[in-house]
Amino acid sequence: MLTRMFGGGLIREDEPQEAVHFPVVSTLCSITITASQRSTWLTKVTWSYDADPAAGSLLTVEDGVGNFKRKWAVTKGGPGGLTLLRCKGTPNTDMIVKLSASAGVIGTLMVEYIRRS
């Protein structure tokens, strides 16, 4: 089973992992899950805006740059989340999750994922 360094220790790639981004105000939240020989499966995406975002604010999942797998409009501030059952990335391709920047608003983003063949 593949292992990799994470927080100073070894974990198995098929165990749940998470990534978090807490940017400053009016900044795009972006998490890139680096490519692996195994597919990345997103299991959960959680986000929050500290106020209502501007119209057109999006949460997106890309399989490689610009290859959209999922896209949702985010219209209200506060926390939100999605449990994903079938959001599989392509092996050897980065998976990128983004939450749009919104003027004067702070957004946060967290993803949970596993790696499987």
Task: Tell me the pLDDT of the chain averaged across its residues.
Answer: 85
Residue-wise pLDDT for 8-53, tens only, equals 444 566 677 888 887 888 889 999 999 989 889 999 999 999 999 9
Q: Are 77 and 49 in contact (CB under 8 A)?
A: yes
Residue-wise pLDDT for 73-109, tens only, equals 999 999 999 998 889 999 999 999 999 998 999 999 9
Does residue 11 sit within a domain? no
Does residue 24 sit within a domain? yes
DSSP strand E in the chain: where? 3-6, 9-12, 17-21, 29-33, 39-49, 58-63, 68-73, 78-88, 95-99, 107-116
What is the C-alpha separation between 30 and 94, in angstroms, rounded? 12
What angle (nearest 5°) sits at the alpha carbon of residue 43, between those of residues 67 and 93?
A: 35
Q: Is the dihedral of CA 42, 110, 81, 49 positive or negative?
A: negative
Does residue 5 sit within a domain? no
CATH code of the domain covering residue 50: 2.60.120.730
- What does the pLDDT read at residue 3? 40
> Range of 29's domain?
17-116
- What does the pLDDT read at residue 33? 93
Does residue 12 sit within a domain? no
Chain-centroid distance, C-alpha 60: 8
Does residue 104 sit within a domain? yes
- What does the pLDDT read at residue 6? 42
Number of domains forming the structure of the chain? 1
- What does the pLDDT read at residue 7? 46
